[in-house]
A and B are shown apart, each in its own frame.
Chain A
Amino acid sequence: NAGVTQTPKFQVLKTGQSMTLQCAQDMNHNSMYWYRQDPGMGLRLIYYSASEGTTDKGEVPNGYNVSRLNKREFSLRLESAAPSQTSVYFCASSEASQGTYEQYFGPGTRLTVT
């Protein structure tokens, strides 16, 4: 199994450009998440989707939109990129199994906005 995959791995954008980060999981999980990781800040939740067809804001949703395309795929869109969105973005998925909700992470997308 591939687990959680993310594309692209690296991206450089100019201020004002838009892009979509793609995430897919093959574990049949209901819940999916987008995080950003910045030095000294830890991982902060941007948006999450508890199940297909639903999305909710996390701690830092401003400047982002998401789409839960189907059970497998959860995309993150930056409509007008800003230098403050330079970060490493991680997608994760989880599922209740015997009462647990263990999270599995993708390899990350390293985004630089100039």
Chain B
Amino acid sequence: KQEVTQIPAALSVPEGENLVLNCSFTDSAIYNLQWFRQDPGKGLTSLLLIQSSQREQTSGRLNASLDKSSGRSTLYIAASQPGDSATYLCAAHTGNQFYFGTGTSLTVIP
């Protein structure tokens, strides 16, 4: 069974700082890895999806990388802003299912 881990569980940074969120998975046989953002009391919003054949994807200030051989993905957020405060989740698509980490709660301090 795929196990997905996100470390740290919580992170607090000052505005303007660059930061990296980590996601690790145990089974490298993934179709893709998807990063989501979740605001309190809300649903999940897709940020980036990296196919298994890709190494990275970029969208604005966000860059996600994937290293299947080591079972790791990172989400890089450049020049963080208070509006980036949310919980970030990663999900590994394996077989017919998506396996989620427990998320990293990010607080960006003005």
Contact = CB atoms under 8 A, between A and B. Distances in A.
Interface of A: 31, 33, 35, 40-45, 48, 50, 56, 58, 90, 92, 94, 99-108
Contacts of B101: 42
B51 interface: yes
Contacts of A103: 34, 46, 91, 98
Given A43-B89, A99-B51, A102-B34, A90 B43 contact: yes
Main SS class of interface, B: strand
Contacts of B53: 99
B42 interface: yes
Given A42-B101, A90-B43, A108-B43, A102 B49 contact: yes
A50 B96 CA distance: 8
A101 B97 contact: no
24 contacts: A33-B98, A35-B100, A40-B102, A41-B102, A42-B101, A42-B102, A43-B44, A43-B89, A43-B100, A44-B100, A50-B96, A56-B96, A58-B97, A92-B98, A100-B32, A101-B31, A101-B93, A102-B34, A102-B46, A102-B49, A103-B34, A105-B43, A107-B42, A107-B43
Interface residues of B, number: 23
A104 B46 contact: yes
A23 B89 CA distance: 22
Contacts of A104: 46
Interface string B37-75: 000001111100101010000000000000000000000
Contacts of B45: 105
Contacts of B103: 42
Contacts of A43: 44, 89, 91, 100
Contacts of A90: 43-44
A90 B100 CA distance: 13
**Closest 6 A/B residue pairs (Cβ):** A42-B102, A43-B100, A105-B44, A107-B43, A105-B43, A42-B100
Contacts of B43: 90, 105-108
